[in-house]
Amino acid sequence: MIVGFIQNSPRFGEKQENFSQIATLAKGIIADLLVLPELFATGYTFTSKEEAHQLAETPDGITAGFLKQLSAETGAIMVGGFIEQEGDQIFNSAIMVFGDNVIGTYRKIHLFNKEKLWFSAGNKQFEVHHVNGMKIGMMICFDWIFPEVTRTLALKGVQIIAHPSNLIMPYCQSAMVTRCLENRVFAITANRIGRETRGDDDFTFTGSSQITCVNGNILSAATTEKLCVNTIDIDIHHADNKSVNQYNDLFKDRRIDFYL
Ligand code: ACM
């Protein structure tokens, strides 16, 4: 399976310009799964709830339409972040698209920092989607700091986690080594680059998007500063084997009587 990420640098609020940047980056790429960052078309640093509402969409909006077009061009399942509207609520969501179909959305359950002012916390369970020969789950950025997220997806049978991100702290990329190793799953952390200075906030996003293997090896890593598309060929079935040696199996050895 050819899997990868697109590391972009969106301009706040300029969806069409941000789509164009990604379309240019993805030109000629053929893959099975491509992951884009969190909120890849809107930018991240909102100054009011109204501003976030104005950029929100339903899962049949223009961002899903752009991902469908990209899926047709690349052959890949596409995953990326968007602001999802449902009734009066908006969520920091990720959407998975394959061909002309929306496979599902995930609504970020662990909101980071001022996201709590703009978004409702996710209200749906984690799902594992069986698509294109892979078992794929989604989590978003700060979810990495809660090991329960990767573990829940792993226990539900995930082979690869699509992890759209807008990271500003320096810890996630190395933490994903442990997340993948302790669950024997693959993960694609797609991060953005660039700086957003809006309202009281001044955020520099850390890039360094990464594909992490079931044994904790980093299979592909981007720089902190460059736009890029990285893809690699993986054997997804490595994620099905949870044994560490003849005597230890990561799932069978769990002692759930002793855990909270
Ligand atoms: C983050 O969750 N965007 C840090």
Domains delineated in the chain: 2-258 (3.60.110.10)
Tell me, what's the pLDDT at 154?
A: 98
Tell me, what's the pLDDT at 170?
A: 95
Tell me, what's the pLDDT at 57?
A: 98
Structure tokens at 159: 């082979």
Name residue, tokens 């941000």: 18
Q: Which SS3 state, helix, strand or coil, does residue 125 take?
A: coil
Which among 147, 144, 187 has a CA at the least distance from the CA of 167?
144
Distance CA 239, CA 163 (A): 16
Is 127 marked active-site? no
Instruction: Please report, rounded to a whole number, the percentage of residues in the chain having pLDDT higher than 90.
Output: 100
Residue 140 contacts residue 162 (beta carbons within 8 Å):
no
Q: How far is the CA of 166 from the centre of ligand 1 (A)?
A: 5
pLDDT tens digits, one per residue of 4-40:
999 999 999 999 999 999 999 999 999 999 999 999 9
How distant is the alpha carbon of residue 131 from its chain centre? Answer: 16
- Which residues, other chains included, contact 257 with Cβ-Cβ below 8 Å and sequence gap of 6+? none
Could you tell me if the CB of 189 is within 6 A of ligand 1? no
Could you tell me if the CB of 38 is within 6 A of ligand 1? yes
What would the mean pLDDT of 197-218 be, rounded to a whole number? 98
Q: pLDDT grade, residue 245 (50/70/90)?
A: very high
Name residue, tokens 């002012």: 117
Tell me, what's the pLDDT at 96?
A: 98
How distant is the alpha carbon of residue 185 from its chain centre? Answer: 14
Is 141 marked active-site? yes
Catalytic pick among 15, 57, 68, 108: 108
> What is the per-residue DSSP string for 37-68?
-TTTTT-S--SSHHHHHHT-B-TTSHHHHHHH
pLDDT tens digits, one per residue of 41-65:
999 999 999 999 999 999 999 999 9
Of all protein residues, the one whose alpha carbon is nearest to atom 3 of ligand 1 is 166
Tell me, what's the pLDDT at 219?
A: 98
CA distances from 6 to 79, 139, 143, 199 (A): 10, 16, 20, 28
Q: Which atom of ligand 1 is nearest to the CA of 38?
A: 3
pLDDT tens digits, one per residue of 80-117:
999 999 999 999 999 999 999 999 999 999 999 999 99
Q: What rounded mean pLDDT belongs to the chain? A: 98
Q: Which SS3 state, helix, strand or coil, does residue 215 take?
A: coil
Residue type, 164: P
pTM above 0.85, yes or no: yes
How many C-beta atoms lie closer than 10 Å to residue 50's C-beta? 9
Tell me, what's the pLDDT at 179?
A: 98
- Which residues, other chains included, contact 258 with Cβ-Cβ below 8 Å and sequence gap of 6+? none
Q: pLDDT grade, residue 168 (50/70/90)?
A: very high
